[in-house]
Structure 1
Amino acid sequence: MIILGLTGSIGMGKSTTAAMFIDRGIPVHDADRAVHMLYENEAVVPIEAAFPGTTLSGHVDRALLGKALQNDPRGFPRLEAIVHPLVRAKEAAFLRQHRDAGAKLVVLDIPLLFETGAEDRVDAVVVATCALEIQRQRVLSRPGMTEEKFALILARQMPDSDKRARADFLIDTGLGLEAARRQVDDLVERLLARAVG
């Protein structure tokens, strides 16, 4: 089974690219979605202990947590120490399930793949990318996004140029949906051929 890591900086089209793999019938483990689920379950108690006042009605309130981290960015490693092992456990269960089912190719959608050293857990990495001006336009059009928030997010992410240099494959999402879909289709065909061969 080939494990393909998918990553890309904010606004680069990573989630749209992940959906294209799903459309092709390729199982995708979405680390962000796993975090959302953990914020409703296993992560609530340890996050409240580490960041008092950031949970409401039995779930982590992302806005309150975000504010706490904005006020003290040194909290990021503390949060990661809680969340990353829980996400890794979900990922391991996903891989077991699909290996047992005989899948030839799976995708791990990991936003901070290079930043967290996750490339060691995959066979190859594909990076979703686009021109900087397209990225900026996409991100700043999101509800509640500000220049300050965008700068804070970018500061925690490896520059896109570095990600592209370290990638095994690229999906350029700046050329439109159909062009991106063709690139995904081509990559799936190549990797499935490699898995069979």
Structure 2
Amino acid sequence: MKRIGLTGGIASGKSRVARLLVERGVPVIDADRVARAVVEPGRPALAEIADRWPGVVRDGHLDRKALGAVIFGNPVERRALEAILHPRIRAEVESRFAELEERGVPRAVYEAPLLVETGFDRLLDELIVVSASEEVQLRRLMERDGFDLEGARARLAAQASPAERLAKATFVIENDGDLDALRARLDAVWSEVERKTSGD
């Protein structure tokens, strides 16, 4: 089975591409859902988080807003959280890939915003990067999430540069247009993915 990564900057349209792939019948492992699964009540990661930041676990459940307040703008605390979560997320993703492979699935996609930043791209066969211009990303952030321009710029600045992601990409989907244009680009890219990952 071929493992294909899917990533892109905030408001690039990565999640929409993932939904279009699911519509095609392609299995997609969603990093955000995996991250939620590893901190469910009773999981070891939640216990470690509670030990380090007692105020962020209430009634046995993670208070994401409280945790976000602790780590936002604090690189030391953010790295501590990543050290707890990333190995467990990686193990969970590997387990899900293995299950799909056992079922005879020819290719599966792992969708993650920090795929390149965490080094997980090195464990994948191909990498699709969804890209949008900064102008389009800013507009989408303001329209979708209600940010003002300054807030939208801060969100973009907090991510890896597009150049870092694009340098690792096997395939790039430009997404500055509408949904029809995105579908057309995905059709072309996925045909290339299927061609490249068939019979080898």
> 1 CA distance for matches of 2:29 and 2:137?
24
> 1 CA distance for matches of 2:158 and 2:50?
23
CA deviations 1:14-57 (Å, max 9, x no partner) are 11111111111111111111112223332322111122201222
Label 1:134 to 1:117 Cα distance change in 2 as closer, same or farther (>3 A).
same
Structure 1 runs of 4+ off > 6 angstroms? none
TM-score (norm 1): 0.90
How far residue 165 of structure 1 moved from its aligned partner, in angstroms, is 3.0
How far residue 71 of structure 1 moved from its aligned partner, in angstroms, is 5.7
Alignment of 1:1-197 (within 5 A): 1-41=1-41, 42=43, 43-70=45-72, 72-143=74-145, 145=147, 150=152, 153-197=155-199
30-39 vs 18-27, which deviates more? 30-39
User: What code does the residue aligned with 2:53 have?
Assistant: F
125-134 vs 67-76, which deviates more? 67-76
Q: Is the 8 A contact 1:24 1:185 kept in 2?
A: no
The size of the alignment, in residue pairs, is 197
- CA RMSD of superposed structures (Å): 2.0
Q: Is the 8 A contact 2:173 2:189 kept in 1?
A: no
User: Unaligned stretches of 5+ in structure 1?
Assistant: none
How far residue 122 of structure 1 moved from its aligned partner, in angstroms, is 0.4
How far residue 190 of structure 1 moved from its aligned partner, in angstroms, is 2.4
How far residue 173 of structure 1 moved from its aligned partner, in angstroms, is 1.9
> 2 CA distance for matches of 1:195 and 1:71?
41
> 2 CA distance for matches of 1:145 and 1:58?
32
TM-score (norm 2): 0.88
CA deviations 1:89-130 (Å, max 9, x no partner) are 211111111111111111011211111111211011111111
User: What code does the residue aligned with 1:67 have?
Assistant: A
Q: Is the 8 A contact 1:104 1:192 kept in 2?
A: no
